[in-house]
Amino acid sequence: MKYLCKKCGNLYDANDKIIKCKCGGALWLDFTGKLKKSDIKQNDFTMWRYAKAYPVKRENVKISFGEGLTPLSSINYKGHKILVKQDNLMPTGSFKDRGVVMVTNYLNNLGVTKFAEDSSGNGGSSFAGYCALGGIDCKIFIPAGTSQGKIAQMKVYGADLIEVEGTRADVANEAMKNIGGSVYVGHNWHPLFVHGVKSLAYELWEQNEFKEPDNIVCVAGNGSIVTGIYIGFKELLNIGEIDKMPKIYAIQTDNCNTLYREFVGDTINFKPLPTIAEGISIYRPTKLKEVVDLVRETNGKFISVTEDEIKNELLKVGKKGFYIEPTSATGFAGLSKLINDNVINKKEQTAIIISGNGLKATDKILNLL
Ligand SMILES: *Cc1c(COP(=O)(O)O)cnc(C)c1O
Ligand SMILES: [Zn+2]
């Protein structure tokens, strides 16, 4: 397998030593999954039923909670029938497990037994959980001042937490220094991460009677949900299992909306503000132009919403029975806008992804009540 930099075209042999291109660009796995309906492992009730589409073979997956195949339900939302993909029900409480299980098994099979990740939230929780399961040493570099509530999960899993003063980029740089022989596994950089997240597309396809929804609404920070969904459906399109790409609608918060700004041609030099949607508070996405381009290719859009819209949606969606992270409520605020502005209509089929569990943010949610 090779890693490809789309900025400068450099190719590298895939291994555990390299995480970004010499030019500073993000690396992509040069790999296309080829899975037909008949290749699905019918007796495997996890995301690994689509193993033929992945860069890690099923027999090489040693560290697994039996993740994936989260429920897809259908709700009435503003008179529209909306499919709701509940990744709040993943083993560590967010969709990140889909990418982390791929990266963890790939690296551990290469002999890596010490991981370093930079995160203040779900990426860190997920790596800490999988490392606990796999007996892997796990260091999580967190921004100084991260609330105790957020780090409880990582602590219980037994991760080694290291506070770093400075910006979010400083935290990442520290994690990349191979302290104590650790290997940087950062979910915003690792090329295999999105090839785990793409299981979302395969599940949506099968759970929707082997059909692609017309529209998919999801939130975007660094853009791995967007990218995973794009890659998965693109692979299904390439192999002839679906007729067209779903339109991807990626939602951001006004307080930190770099991808949205790039999409509409606005300046990306602005002062990001704190947001209740902390999972998408990413000022400098690692694949900025690439993620904007692929949303554009699907004829979808980036949408930016206010903090008040996010808070209102969290409470509204709760009344429908979904207890979700404020970050994920951003997606519903975007969906509401798409419906109000007649961008999507009732004849189309629309799916939304819930990316994280409300139980992760009890303190923040209490403040809304
Ligand atoms: C990480 C995260 C996101 C954003 O994913 P990106 O890959 O950064 O776009 C969204 N929701 C939740 C709950 C997250 O943890
Ligand atoms: Zn490059």
Tokens of 122: 């779900």
Helix (H, G, I), strand (E, B) or coil at 113: coil
96-184 and 72-93+192-368 share a CATH fold:
yes
Map out the domains of the chain as residue ranges: 1-30, 72-93+192-368, 96-184
> Residue 123 Cα, ligand 2 centroid: separation in angstroms?
25
Give mean pLDDT, residues 117-138: 95
Give mean pLDDT, residues 182-201: 97
On whether the CB atoms of residues 102 and 192 are closer than 8 A, the answer is yes
CATH topology of domain 96-184: Rossmann fold (3.40.50)
**Ligand 1 in reach of 350 Cβ (< 6 A):** no
- Residue 216: CB atoms within 10 Å: 29
Nearest CA to ligand 1 atom 14: 279
In the chain, DSSP assigns E strands to 2-5, 11-13, 27-29, 72-77, 80-86, 114-118, 137-143, 160-164, 183-184, 215-219, 247-253, 301-305, 350-354
Query: pLDDT over 70 for what percent of the chain?
Result: 100
**Ligand 1 in reach of 360 Cβ (< 6 A):** no
Q: Is 298 exposed, middle or buried (0-12, 13-18, 19+ CB in 10 A)?
A: buried
Instruction: Pick from 216, 225, 314 the residue to mutate for probing ligand 1's pocket: most ligand atoms within 8 Å of its CB.
Output: 225
> Residue 58 Cα, ligand 1 centroid: separation in angstroms?
26
Tokens of 127: 């790596």
Residue identified by tokens 């009890």 is 362
**Ligand 1 in reach of 354 Cβ (< 6 A):** no
The CATH class of 72-93+192-368 is: alpha beta
Q: What is the pLDDT of residue 150?
A: 77
pLDDT tens digits along 228-250: 999 999 999 999 999 999 999 99
pTM of the full structure:
0.97
Give mean pLDDT, residues 138-164: 90
Nearest CA to ligand 1 atom 3: 279
Which among 141, 136, 73 has a CA at the least distance from the CA of 100?
A: 136
Is the pLDDT at 17 greater than 90, yes or no?
A: no
Ligand nearest to the CA of 360: 1
